[in-house]
Amino acid sequence: MSFKRRDFLKVAAGTAGLALLGPGKSADASSAVPNPNNPEFFGMLIDTTACIGCRACEQACGEQNKLAEQPAEYWDDKTMDQPRDTTPDTYLVVNKYPNPADPSKPIFSRKQCMHCNQPACASACLVKGLEKTKEGPVNYDKTRCMGCRYCMIACPFDIPKFNYDSPTPVISKCVFCTSRLKNGEKPACADACPTGATLFGTRRELLEEAKKRIYTNPGKYHNKIYGENEVGGTGFMYLSSVPFEQIGMKKNIGSTPYPEDTLGFLFSVPLVDVLWPALLAGLYSISKGKDAENQKDEKETHHE
Amino acid sequence: MSKSISIPAQTYTGNVRDFGSLVTFLISQLKPRGKMLTPFNIITAPIILVGGVLIVIRFWKGIGYVSNLSQEFPWGIWIGFDVVTGVAFAAGAYVLTFVVDILKFKKYEPVLRATVLNGLLAYVFYSGALLIDIGRPWNIVNPIIGNKFGFSSVMFLVAWHFLLYMICEFLEFAPAIAEWLGWWKLRKFLHAITAGAVILGITLSTLHQAGLGSLFLLARNKIHPLWYSQHIPMLFFVSSIFAGLSIVIIESSLTHRIFAHRLPKGNHGGHDEIVLGLSKGAAGTMLAYFFLKIVEIVHGQNIHLLSTPMGQWYLLEVLGFVLFPAFLFLSAIKRRSVKMAQFAAVLTALGIMLNRLNISIIAFKWDSPNHYYPSWHEVVITGAIISIELWAFRWIVNRMPVLDERHDPQEVKMNNRRH
């Protein structure tokens, strides 16, 4: 039942979306076809001003990743009354936020892995269970993962999830539909989006598009692209009509890539590994000589 | 050497020549000694039993059934207490080997073996605790033998330093095992490589003590600014020194009472000197640490945060459990009061626990509406691990030459002949 409603929404929204964006703005980026040989890496642009909260992306994500099926009431709009977090069974959630300008038109935004340019999770992982690929996705390999959950501690967006209720748990999160990208397809959510609120393309193209939208629509957007500089830049970027903390985005995460925070220590490791033994051996040989002398003295006094 | 060493007769029962006699010897040693119904046994045995059942449930059903860990708080007391605090408590081994084997302060030799044994057991049991905490323990060998090394990961370095240090500590303790078995040639060889193991062990300890702190460098926006700083590695390293020293004071004071029958005669005055000497080391490093903390606060421009509730919690940790016990140590040295030094050591250890738990749990997402509290299962499992560790310690101390002074192979041979 909900399927039909959703299909209807898709079509309805498609027309509405065009009107919303105006001519030519759903634009080149959304039609970008992934090219596996492209040296630039992929990203997404989420234009929350175009999102109508139909949750087609959410549904497509569940189907694509073969996640546990949700009960019918899950797809009710009431689910969005409380902001939700991703879970081991939902890699992508659409949330509803009040619109201060027009309370009758709430703002919808989505939450999923941001696919950081320099991901904290991947730098935290001691077995490369999480890895940033050159195409853009941050991928997970459960055959390597130890389940230490350091990635969860490290991720500035609290994205990696862990199924504590399983004896064979895994880390789960959006992997940017890596398998689809390999086949030259768009990620499932971008494919499903009826309004162009989720745009797929190379990160460079999407940044251009985002800037263009801000400059050509004075007053429509809050003048900032979330993800352009956050934690050194993220693969997923957001546009919004209101400051980003009002749509549940993390503030105060800085613009330095997280892995840089541990560089100082990592560089000091080989230094200490080389210097300490040398210094200690030096100290040892000094005190050993002293020790031998003492013993000699002792013996001599004993002989006397 | 005119000073004769009294050796408890039952220590050197080992005269193992072949495999058969090794087995007989081990079986004879496995037998429990002493009374069974001691208060210690009555308390720890049920904890171990219940903990054992809970551990089975954890592997059968999953971590979620026995813990309060969540998506928001992925690390609880199994990491924050068992590993992060426990490793700081085990730091006595590298500090004392430095003092005795590198600087040649022979005064501290009587407490060295017990300290190294404690460190070794702590590491063995904490990696055991890690197996319970990590979700996919069958992959634990991946960072060691896997083809995918996460060189950029602090955790990778900590894992390697952890493993190598365990080997070093085993080598440092191995002479006691060789003496126990009566394998003098091996004992001689082990004695010859001790200095190497010690030098490597101190290096590895420096890095993984600091490394445990560095793990939290990646939690920049999650840890309260009073505890988060770029200098966590340095602070962890410096504080591990007095953490280790205060635990040596506590542990050696306890073992001297409990295992009095294992001690060489007339060594009690010596122990007082040891405690007061260690107190000097602790007080010095604590004042240095306190100074670093002040620099840290001024530099981070966080003074205004001290008036917030978290700030007062911070002041309690730094003033009440670092500065205050540091002065207690100083006063104990001046008055030559061993009791006061022991009290200061307990406060210091509590302060270290507070600091490690603050960074890993309490100040982690301090501003979240939800908080993590350990489930009783988590507490019992931790209690069981500590209890088993203490049983192992007792078993070894009652059999191997740990508390008596270290022996020269030649000397022991002569003594053995006399027996």
Question: What pLDDT, on a 0 to 100 scale, did the predictor assign at position B407?
Answer: 52
How many domains, in total, are found in chain B? Answer: 2
In a shared domain, residues B47 and B157: no
Q: Which of A202, A115, A190 is nearest to A160 (CA)?
A: A115
Integer Cα distance of B80 and B133 in angstroms:
11
Q: What is the average pLDDT across A178-183?
A: 92
If asked whether residues B62 and B208 sit together in one domain, one would say no
Residue B323 lies in a domain: yes
DSSP state of B34: S
**Does residue A152 lie in a domain region?**
no
Encode pLDDT of A87-124 as tens digits.
999 999 999 999 998 899 999 999 999 999 999 999 99
CA gap A77, A72 in Å, rounded:
11
Are A18 and A89 part of one and the same domain? yes
Give the pLDDT confidence of B203-243 residue by residue, as tens digits: 999 999 999 999 999 998 999 999 999 999 999 999 999 99
**How many domains are contained in chain A?**
2
How far A232 CA lies from chain B's nearest CA (Å)? Answer: 14
Q: Which residues contact B344 (CB under 8 A, 6 or more apart)?
A: B246, B279, B282, B325, B326, B328, B329, B332
Q: Which domain holds residue A188?
A: 2-118+173-256
Please give the share of chain A, as a percent, with pLDDT higher than 70: 84
Q: Which of B347, B364, B381 is the last residue of a domain?
A: B364
Residue A7 lies in a domain: yes
Judge whether residue A30 has pLDDT over 50.
Answer: no
Give the pLDDT band (50/70/90) at residue A2: very low
Residue B268 confidence (pLDDT)? 60
On whether residue B413 sits in a domain, the answer given is: no
pLDDT-based confidence at residue B38 (cuts at 50, 70, 90):
confident
Together in a domain, A91 and A184: yes
Percent of chain A with pLDDT strictly greater than 90:
72
d(CA A287, CA B36): 46
Q: pLDDT per residue over A115-141, tens digit each?
A: 999 999 999 999 999 999 989 999 999
Same domain, B51 and B110: no
pLDDT digits (tens, 9 = 90+) for B278-288: 999 999 999 99
Q: Are residues B75 and B199 in the same domain?
A: yes
Closest C-alpha to A299, from B304, B380, B205, B3: B3
Q: Which amino acid is at B371?
A: H
Is B218's CB within 8 Å of A154's CB?
A: yes
Average per-residue pLDDT in chain A?
86
Which of A261, A271, A283, A286 has the highest number of chain B CBs within 10 A, making it the mutation to test binding with B?
A: A261
Residue A154 lies in a domain: no
Asked if residue A283 belongs to a domain, the reply is yes
Residue A303 has pLDDT above 60, yes or no: no
Tell me the C-alpha distance between B398 and B31, whole Å.
11
Are residue A245 and residue A298 in the same domain, yes or no? no
Looking at residue A214, what is its pLDDT? Answer: 96
Q: What is the pLDDT of residue B3?
A: 37
Average pLDDT score over residue span A199-224: 94
User: Is the domain of A187 the same as that of A91?
Assistant: yes
> What pLDDT shows up at residue A252?
85
Least confident range from A23-27, B217-221, B250-254, B327-331: namely A23-27
pLDDT band with cut points at 50, 70 and 90 for residue A21: very low
- Among A256, A275, A295, residue at a domain's last position: A256
The SS3 call for residue A171 is strand
Domain identity same for A226 and A284: no
Let me know if residue B256 belongs to a domain: yes
Contact at CB, B136 and A146, closer than 8 angstroms: yes
Query: Token pair of A184, please?
Result: 């030259």
Residue A165, domain member (yes or no): no
Is the pLDDT confidence value at A68 over 60?
Answer: yes
pLDDT tens-digit readout, B336-381: 999 999 999 999 999 999 999 999 999 999 999 999 999 999 999 9
With CA atoms as reference, the chain B residue closest to A85 would be B71
B159 shares a domain with B52? no
- Interchain proximity B60–A167, CB inside 8 Å: yes
What does the pLDDT read at residue A39? 58
Same domain, B107 and B187: yes
- Which chain B residues contact residue A122 at CB under 8 A? 152
Rounded to an integer, the average pLDDT of A254-270 is 92
Whether A206 and A277 map to the same domain: the answer is no
Is B171's pLDDT higher than 60? yes
User: What pLDDT does residue A42 have?
Assistant: 94
Q: Token pair of A13, please?
A: 């929204």
Q: For residue B125, what are the domain limits?
A: 67-364
Model confidence over A135-160: pLDDT tens digits?
Answer: 999 999 999 999 999 999 999 999 99
Tokens (6 digits) for B307: 């008036």
Whether residue A182 sits in one domain with residue A90: yes
Domain of residue A60, CATH code: 3.30.70.20
Residues A184 and A273 reside in one and the same domain = no
Q: Residue B199 is nearest to which of A145, A150, A284, comparing CB atoms?
A: A284
The answer as to whether B408 is a domain residue is no
Q: What is the pLDDT of residue A37?
A: 52
Q: Which residue of B has its CA nearest to A280?
A: B199
Q: Is residue B223 part of a domain?
A: yes
Q: Report the pLDDT value the prediction gives residue A3, as an integer from 0 to 100.
A: 45
Q: Quick one: what percent of chain B has pLDDT higher than 70? A: 91
Answer yes or no: is pLDDT of B334 > 70.
Answer: yes
Query: With bands split at pLDDT 50, 70 and 90, how would you rate the model's confidence at A16?
Result: very low
pLDDT at B34: 76
CATH code (residue B289): 1.20.1630.10
CA distance B312 to chain A (A): 24
* A-chain residues near B72 (CB < 8 A): 158
Q: Is A109:A98 a contact under the CB 8 Å cutoff?
A: no
Say if A161 falls within a structural domain: no
Gap between the Cα atoms of B228 and A61, Å rounded: 37
Helix or strand run (H / E) with residue B76: none
> Which chain B residues contact residue A152 at CB under 8 A?
71, 74
Q: A95 and A62, same structural domain?
A: yes
pLDDT beyond 90 at B265:
no
In this structure, the answer to whether residues B198 and B246 fall within a common structural domain is yes
Identify whether B59 is part of a domain. yes
Q: Are residues B57 and B124 in the same domain?
A: no
Measured between alpha carbons, how far is B401 from B394 in angstroms, rounded to an integer?
A: 12
At B63, the pLDDT band (50, 70, 90 cuts) reads very high
In a domain, A28, yes or no: yes
